[in-house]
Structure 1
Amino acid sequence: MKMIGLIGGMSWESSAEYYRILNEGIRERVGPTASAQCVMWSFNFAEIEDLQHRGDWATLTTRMVDAARRLEAAGADVLLICTNTMHRMAATIEDAVAVPLLHIADPTAERIKAAGIKTVGLLGTAFTMEHAFYKGRLAEQHGLDVIVPNDEDRATVHRIIYEELVAGRILPASRDAYRAIIARLVEAGAEAVILGCTEIMLLVKPEDSAVPIFDTTALHAAAAIEVALAG
């Protein structure tokens, strides 16, 4: 079994889900006493959040590269960034280490294409919804048409992530807000919705959407299991 290296703590709420999904998946595939071989570098998310909102992506990139190198030195055979937003520096991390990086958008896009879906709505942090690093990969490498919420809805999605979900707060009113935003994406033509923040799956469930939802956390972890057990 290959060693999975996890760059986590962004936030630990979703990193804990990665750990659970990886171990449950390995147990199901290998046997009742089996668990995932993994090593995690877990950030203090308060520091990461501050740098994100100050726009200091250079410092964030330096820290992410350092984490990747530490995991490689610890024996990781494949790396996962346990957050969608920080895939903004995925290419730089790939250049800095010799082990492969499993990009979170790729297994998500592959599952969407396998379902015969072309147009998707994207929910995530403002950085993920508004910047090209994520939407561009979905469009250019996978041929998907991506719809994002309007300005007001993007602000709501972002606020709930940073003020509630990363702190483990799951509020019915926020679920209702997300349901309404998803409905508007469907009205705009979305055939499915990507939960493009690893915490959103804590709030939104399949029954909250009239179209299929694709949970990047679960799909990313499932793809890592396949890599870990291959060859």
Structure 2
Amino acid sequence: MKCAGIVGGLGPESTVDYYQSYIQKYQDRMNSKQTLPELFINSINMYHVFKFISEDRLDDLSEYVGAAAKKLEEIGADFAVVSANTPHIVFDQIRKYVTIPMISIVEATYDKADELGLQNVGLLGTKFTMEHNFFKKPFKSGSKNIVAPSEEDQQFIHQRIVDELENGIVKDETKQAFLKIINKMIKEEQLDGLILGCTELPMILKDGDVDIPLLNTTEIHVDKMLEEVFSE
């Protein structure tokens, strides 16, 4: 059985979610609670990631996350993931640090949107994810429209992610503010789906909160990990 490697700590709350979700889905696949997958987690510092991006030091970001992936390969991981959306700004460069397969959260999310037949999707995440093009490129290449909130709303969402969700804090007032932004986007942009492009967002936004599908990038990514584990 293949051994997974996770570059975690980006942030800690979502790393826990990856770990628990991966185990649960693995046990469901094996139809047994008496079995556990083998995996490695290399937890790094998300604030270094934010600093590198804020200062436009993308080479340093690639080296930092790439070295973390390389350590996973060296200790025996058969494939690896970066358990956050934002560092995928430099995912193509990170891939070059290892010889094992790496599964992209962006590519996995595009595949899910395509599977669901979505054409006009919204994107929430950190300001880095919303303002850069790395998440938008595959959607535009696939003739799908992708829409981010206004600059003011982006800043609000980013601050709540960093100050609250990254620290495990979930406030109803923040959820209601997020829903107000989302519903405005649905009405104005005619969205048929919404990408939760930060792995902490599922802590506060759930299926049924709005009338369109929510693409939980953590769950989508973990599902791709399971496909890799059980592939020959």
- TM bracket (short chain): over 0.9
Give CA-to-partner distance per residue, 1:73-111, whole Å, 9 cap, x none: 111111101000000111011122111110001222222
Q: Counterpart of 1:25 in 2: which secondary structure?
A: helix
2:123 alignment partner AA: L
Q: Which residue of structure 2 lines up, in the alignment, with residue 164 of structure 1? A: 164
- Tell me how far apart the structure 2 counterparts of residues 10 and 191 of structure 1 sit (CA, whole Å): 28
Q: Counterpart of 1:24 in 2: which secondary structure?
A: helix
Stretch moving more, 76-85 or 43-52: 43-52
Q: Counterpart of 2:174 in 1: which secondary structure?
A: helix
- Tell me how far apart the structure 2 counterparts of residues 115 and 137 of structure 1 sit (CA, whole Å): 16
Q: Counterpart of 2:94 in 1: which secondary structure?
A: helix
Q: Is the 8 A contact 2:49 2:87 kept in 1?
A: no
Q: Which residue of structure 2 lines up, in the alignment, with residue 76 of structure 1? A: 77
Displacement of 1:220 after TM fit? Answer: 0.3
Summarize the alignment of residues 67-216 of structure 1 with structure 2, pairs less than 5 Å apart. 67-140=68-141, 142-187=142-187, 188-216=189-217
Displacement of 1:138 after TM fit? Answer: 2.5
- Which 5+ residue runs of structure 1 have no aligned equivalent? none
2:42 alignment partner AA: W
Identity among equivalent positions (%) equals 29
- How many correspondences in the alignment? 230
Displacement of 1:197 after TM fit? Answer: 0.4
Give CA-to-partner distance per residue, 1:129-167, whole Å, 9 cap, x none: 111111112322x33210110111111111111111001
- Tell me how far apart the structure 2 counterparts of residues 129 and 36 of structure 1 sit (CA, whole Å): 34
Q: Which residue of structure 2 lines up, in the alignment, with residue 24 of structure 1? A: 24
Q: Counterpart of 1:10 in 2: which secondary structure?
A: coil
Displacement of 1:23 after TM fit? Answer: 0.3
- Tell me how far apart the structure 2 counterparts of residues 168 and 50 of structure 1 sit (CA, whole Å): 21
Moved over 4 A (4+): none
TM-score by length of 2: 0.95
- Which 5+ residue runs of structure 2 have no aligned equivalent? none
Q: Is the 8 A contact 1:9 1:45 kept in 2?
A: yes
Structure 1's 45 and 94: CA in aligned 2 closer, same or farther, altered over 3 A? closer
Q: Counterpart of 2:34 in 1: which secondary structure?
A: coil
